[in-house]
Amino acid sequence: MSHPNARRRVVLTGIGCVTPIGTGVQQLWAGLQAERSAVGTVTRFEAAIFRSQCAAQVDDFDATRWLDAKRVKRLDRFSQFAVVSAQLAIEDSRLDLEREDRERIGAMMGTALGGVGYAEEQAARFQQFGLRGVDATLALAVFGGSASCNLAIEFGISGPNSTNAMSCASGSMAIGEAFRQVRDGYADVMLAGGSEAPLATLCFGAFALIRAMSTRNEDPAHASRPFDRDRDGFVMGEGAAVLVLEERERALARGAHIYAEVMGYGTTNDAHHMTAPLPSGAQAARCMRMALHDAQCTPEQVDYINAHGSSTPLNDPTEVVAIRTVFGDHASRIPVSSTKGYYGHALGASGAFEAAISALALTNQWVPPTVGLETPDDACNLDHVPGTGRSMPLHTVMSNSFGFGGINAALVLRAAEP
């Protein structure tokens, strides 16, 4: 093991995902290029009892396309998303696990709710059929740690392993912590990302109850409107994304394709409120500064910010305040977009989606638009990219994630060197 003080360079060599706009890196990119929302009316359960009735669903997912049918039966939807995304990421990275030291490969994942949606389904079966009607794997499926543990079991990797449950920042935090594991020499390769399967009646209803979600039920394709004057809440989504993070020299030695280099990570807590962000944005700003400092990067070097931009009345302007605090006059010159208009807010998976999208933006030198943004709110005045993406030179990007409980996380990625 390298000495913990020896900072190694970490690169992103594989992307795997299951999202409402596409499964796998090529379909994800095609979905971004299409520049349209995947949000529709909920069909997974009866939503008419709720004020909010729209969501971004993954409707064409069949885990048996990638995994053995017996294995699939042992996994709930949350873990299926995670394992399939990891499988796709490994394939994309062309990592040959048979030739690797699997003790030097680990997994870190993030989720807000883990297997709670599955537990809800099983609770209904218990009410109807008693204990005999409950799936025997329930205890193994319901805890959030099943995401990273199932990756370890599926791929035989016994390096550092954890799943955090830090709400909507958890996917970004998993990637950031995995970055540190490789950078500091505790692992050579990490599978990192987030997974979420919250589209179940009570899970969905809990967020409807606190009036956090959009009620634009008559026009679901325009319900998620980050930074827009008429935004009225987030739209729930589902899915997973997993990235392969790898020590740079070994990635180069094996001829791996490098999407981007992971440069910095920061995380803080508002210590303010469970659902409302700190109005000053001070801790979100400190989080961004920490990521920049970790990346040894100045604010003026950032070419694009993939914002958290959840489409909620409080979060969006607070994020803008934080961005302006960190970037000063340069804030007005940095293109900013939130990609949640495409696929809603998949809670703990969102940060992983957006890290993958940030890497693709660097690879393709293209800034994705904020789908759903029509009239920017005066309180959200930045260089927004509404409607249509923007081709431009990109060298360094930041991806922000802010969640319930006051959790803040930021990642800094840089374009791969020729």
Which residues are known catalytic residues?
168
Contact criterion met (CB below 8 Å) for 56 and 38: yes
Which DSSP string corresponds to 141-203?
Answer: HSSTTHHHHHHHHHHT--SSEEEE--GGGHHHHHHHHHHHHHHTTS-SEEEEEEEE---SHHH
CB-CB contact of 34 with 21 (8 Å): yes
Within 8 A by CB and 6+ apart from 190, the residues are 105, 106, 107, 108, 159, 160, 178, 179, 181, 182, 244, 245, 246
DSSP label at residue 354 = H
Q: How far apart are CA 340 and CA 348, in angstroms?
A: 13
How far is residue 147's CA from residue 140's CA, in Å, rounded to a whole number?
10
* CA–CA distance, 83 with 153 (Å, rounded to integer): 10
Dihedral sign for Cα 369, 372, 374, 375, please: negative
Coil vs helix vs strand at 337: strand
d(CA 149, CA 163): 8
CB contact set of 329 (below 8 Å; sequence gap of 6+): none
The two tokens of residue 377 are: 């709110």
Degrees to nearest 5, angle at CA 19 with 72 and 367: 155
Q: How far apart are CA 236 and CA 54, in angstroms?
A: 8
User: For residue 211, how far is the Cα from the chain centroid?
Assistant: 23
Reduced to 3 states (helix: H, G, I; strand: E, B; else coil), residue 363 is helix
User: Do 365 and 219 touch, CB atoms closer than 8 A?
Assistant: no
Contact 190, 105 (CB under 8 A): yes
